[in-house]
Amino acid sequence: MKEIIVASTNEGKIKEIRAMLSEIGIDVKSIKDVFEEEIEIEENGQTFQENALIKAQTICEMIDKPTLADDSGLEVDAMDGAPGIYSARFMGHDTSYDIKNQYIIDAVKGKERGARFVCAMALCIPDEEPILIEEYFDGEIYDHIEGENGFGYDPIFYVPELKKTSAQLSLEEKNQYSHRAKALKKLYQILKEK
């Protein structure tokens, strides 16, 4: 396998995946490199893994090439696992993360603060069984927005062992601890053995 298409237009995600997989000689391309028009895929799964698999299978069937997709998000204990698979769409697509983050801070006030980031990856290779990976990054909801690095819910996701929010972590720290980094390391090992 010399090439993998990533079923995403998120440049940050593509960059992370490209950096890791280029070490074993795999060329990583985004769906923007393959399709001129935007591809809309309905993520109607009930879990992160189901949504990652829907995206990977859809693109793999369209282009007949190995395709990788990930679905990730934040689960908050005091909110019964919300926003979960709806993390990107939580409170509406157009709602800023400052508003979403403040809502979550207010929702856990005086309650259990436990939370985790989840990353599910699905790699579909034509005529093979899909490879599914799921990894976690455990922490808690901070009592205020803090940090400039990262995006989304990173400024309210506090990592007690590092005494920082995810938005305060260096790239090196993030690549060691984050849910996506852990999933990518697993994928790297699997592909290396292939």
12: annotated binding-site residue? yes
Is 64 catalytic? The answer is: no
In what order do the strands lie in the sheet containing 67-76?
27-30, 3-6, 67-76, 114-124, 131-141, 157-159, 164-165
113: annotated binding-site residue? no
174: annotated binding-site residue? yes
98: annotated binding-site residue? no
92: annotated binding-site residue? no
Cβ-based neighbour number of residue 28 at 10 Å: 19
- Contact between 83 and 44 (Cβ < 8 Å): no
Chain CA centroid to CA 93, Å: 17
154: annotated binding-site residue? yes
Q: How far apart are CA 94 and CA 80, in angstroms?
A: 23
180: annotated binding-site residue? yes
Q: Which of 27, 70, 71, 138 is catalytic?
A: 71
149: annotated binding-site residue? no
Q: Which of 118, 105, 119 is nearest to 158 (CA)?
A: 105
Q: How far apart are CA 53 and CA 123, in angstroms?
A: 8
Q: How far apart are CA 54 and CA 136, in angstroms?
A: 20
77: annotated binding-site residue? no
8: annotated binding-site residue? yes
- Contact between 64 and 77 (Cβ < 8 Å): no
70: annotated binding-site residue? no
Would you list which residues are annotated within the binding site for substrate? 8-13, 72, 151-154, 174, 179-180
Active site residues: 71
Binding residues: 8-13, 42, 71-72, 151-154, 174, 179-180
Sequence ranges of the binding site for Mg(2+): 42, 71
